A and B are shown apart, each in its own frame.
Chain A
Amino acid sequence: MSEHEYTPKSKVGKWFNDRLPLLTLANHLTDYPTPKNLNYWWTFGGILTFCLITQIVTGLVLAMHYIAHADMAFQSVEHIMRDVNYGWLIRYIHANGASMFFLAVYIHIFRSLFYGSYKSPREIIWIIGIIIYLLMMAAAFLGYVLPWGQMSFWGATVITNLFSAIPLVGEGIVTWLWGGYSVDNPTLTRFFTLHYLIPFLILGLVVLHIWALHVPGNNNPIGIDIKKPSKDTVPFHPYIVIKDGFALLMFMIVFAFFVFYTPNILGHADNYIEANPLVTPAHIVPEWYLLPFYAILRSVPDKLLGVIAMLSAILILAALPWLDTSKIRSAVFRPLYKQFYWILVADVLILGYVGAMPAEGLYLLIARIATAYYFLHFLVVLPVLGFKERTTPVPLSITEPILGGSPNLAAVKKKDSFKVQ
């Protein structure tokens, strides 16, 4: 919050602002003091907002032409691809947009992990973020069912069947979710309704996410508390706006490349075969962004325990602010954590890779080791590291001279971006 009280210059503006302080809000958003040393990994918040709006706008248009009926859904998607003006463009943006959304959110999450953005006083921002991420996965899964291709149908069957692992009531819950005794038309219509609802829930949570962010202000690459506003900060507009804009444009180039030149590479070929309850695809594989969790699910031999492991893998993130006992936020000053951080990144990538492979032999073994390590990282490594690790000296501010012979600003700036070890 800026120190000075804002008063609109015009009389009309003042009259309006006294009744609904929208202008004060706009002023807060433009003046919002932001650490001046934010690097490009901080631009993904803006990129994610762009992704959400893109999905909502394209989704709105698709919903005008899509028919949520088991006999017509596949055909209506082909109608969109062929006969609706620029329908192919809208659909490819929406389908690839989901992947871009997840790409951005994973970078956003891993940025947070590297720089300790989840730590006090930003726990609520982090937890809201985890809820958004969960809703994103739900929305993506529901959306993938709507074209009613083979992967849609069988993906829906596999995922909804996970609920049958719940003792006693499991079977009943699955029937209730399906609206029948198998995935069928009632399932499709309710999935469509929920797919339409969730983005607006996400939008609401994004507002809370940003609101919660604006209370303590942004974390920054050196992870120290800074005075706001001060020499360490710049106003959000124009400095951060232009920088976010630049990063967003680069992101859009990648996005456009997928949409225009390889629009189907992130999808599965089987989803261009209309759903057929009598034919099971050879491999049922979720979309790439769910693969690490799919690997965790399959690495546990027991169904119920597998589901619990998969859910815990996500929910454990919510406890992260308390599992990480280190007082130092940024990995820049945590030499050991930095190593473990990159091991975790590799671990998740390995999980993603084995998630796409058949769950047998060597793949299964790797999946089990990677799953075990994933939990080990959060439950053992992080809590212990906070006590054992010898951190390097942290500067007192971004611009001020640094005490105790710690690195000067130039050195910090060099170190603060991600480093490939």
Chain B
Amino acid sequence: MKNFFRISFLIALFFGFQFNSNAAEKVEYLKTDWSFKGPFGKFDRTALQRGYQVYQEVCSSCHSMKYLSYRNLVEEGGPEFSVEQAKAIAASFEVKDGPNADGEMFMRPGRLSDKFVMPYENEKAAQAANGGAYPPDMTVLVKARGGGVDYIYSLLQGYEDPPVGVTLDDGVYYNKYMYGNKIKMSNQLSDGLVEYSDGTNASVEQMAKDVTTFLMWTAEPHLETRHKMGFKAIVYLIILTVLVYFSMKRIWSRIETKV
């Protein structure tokens, strides 16, 4: 039994080593306290609502959010806007619908069941408008980048003047956290860029944190349910394991061999 644990520990160590080594060549990301980290982690509702505001006012002009629907904004475990608020948000967008009885496509105000309206008709249009670079869809973005939330949070604050010797083409910017340091997105955040309705001071750091929290939710909308269920499942398994352990001891005590 003791050896068993020792070996398991070695295996765990090996895995830990592997993951660390995968991240070895990257720069140190900026750190902040994420409310959703850890086994009991939950989203901060107000941060999600502010994050949505930043996404809406800043990011959404270029970045799509194609797997999200307006109805998701009311769902439990998310920003939890009221139904009225979400309806108002949806209605503020024009959605292409149709064809109608005359065979015509028409525009109508968005509904809760609609997917988030895309900033561009298609990928080519997005590239054409952004100097050839396609602004990636943001729904699962934090899961699609090695550093996850820390990477996005750092990137948003990582703009600097290029070091001596580095020349940048037109429309290319220097960011110390970007892979290769060259990024086609210019610095988007500046202090006081948005006016938070809850009165929070809109510093760059605050906005970066809020919008990253929002992106974590869009990527993992069931994170809170997962954490809660995981806790219950593991506690249940531990109790059952202990019970089974004693049953096993009891059964094996019928013969002289020890388990």
Contacts and interface: CB of A to CB of B under 8 A. Distances in A.
Interface in B225-250: 226-227, 229-231, 233-234, 237-238, 240-241, 244-245, 247-248
Of the four ranges (under 10, 10 to 19, 20 to 34, 35 or more), the interface on chain B belongs to: 35 or more
Contacts, number: 111
Given A41-B4, A353-B17, A269 B145 contact: yes
A256 B230 CA distance: 7
Majority secondary structure, A binding face: helix
Given A41-B4, A270-B144, A88 B248 contact: no
B47 to A, nearest CB: 21
A261 B39 contact: yes
A322 interface: no
Interface in B16-43: 17-19, 21-22, 39
A256 B219 CA distance: 21
A75 B234 contact: no
A256 B234 contact: yes
Contacts of A417: 3-4
Contact of A420 (B6, B19, B220, B257): B6
A257 B234 contact: yes
A63 B202 CA distance: 45
A35 to B, nearest CB: 10
Given A41-B4, A260-B229, A250 B241 contact: yes
A272 B140 contact: yes
Nearest to A43: B4
B29 to A, nearest CB: 14
Contacts of B143: 264, 269, 272
A356 B18 contact: yes
A243 B248 contact: yes
A376 interface: no
B67 A82 contact: yes
Contacts of B248: 242-243, 245-246
A253 B4 contact: no
Given A37-B257, A250-B241, A264-B143, A420 B3 contact: yes
A40 interface: yes
A214 interface: no
Which of B72, B219, B226 has the most chain A CB within a 10 Å cutoff? B226
Given A89-B226, A256-B237, A273-B136, A249 B244 contact: yes
B14 interface: yes
Interface string B188-213: 00000000000000000000000000
Nearest to A349: B14
Contact of B144 (A257, A265, A273): A273
B245 A246 contact: yes
A88 B247 contact: no
A263 B220 CA distance: 11
Contacts of B255: 36, 234, 239
Nearest to B148: A269
Contacts of A353: 17-18, 21
Given A246-B244, A288-B18, A239 B229 contact: no
Interface in A382-401: none
Contacts of B230: 256-257, 259-261
A357 interface: yes
Interface string A103-124: 1000000000000000000000
A31 B11 CA distance: 35
Nearest to A245: B244
Interface of A: 36-37, 39-41, 75, 78-79, 81-82, 88-89, 92, 103, 234, 238-239, 242-243, 245-246, 249-250, 252-253, 256-257, 259-261, 263-265, 269-270, 272-273, 282, 288, 349, 352-353, 356-357, 413, 417-420
7 A-B pairs with least C-beta separation: A260-B230, A272-B144, A249-B241, A417-B3, A272-B143, A242-B248, A78-B67
Given A82-B222, A242-B247, A353-B17, 10 more contacts: A234-B255, A245-B248, A249-B241, A260-B234, A263-B226, A269-B146, A272-B144, A288-B15, A288-B18, A357-B21
26 contacts: A36-B255, A82-B221, A88-B222, A88-B226, A89-B226, A103-B11, A239-B251, A243-B248, A243-B252, A253-B238, A256-B233, A256-B234, A257-B230, A257-B234, A260-B234, A263-B226, A269-B144, A269-B145, A270-B144, A272-B140, A273-B144, A349-B14, A356-B22, A418-B4, A419-B3, A420-B3
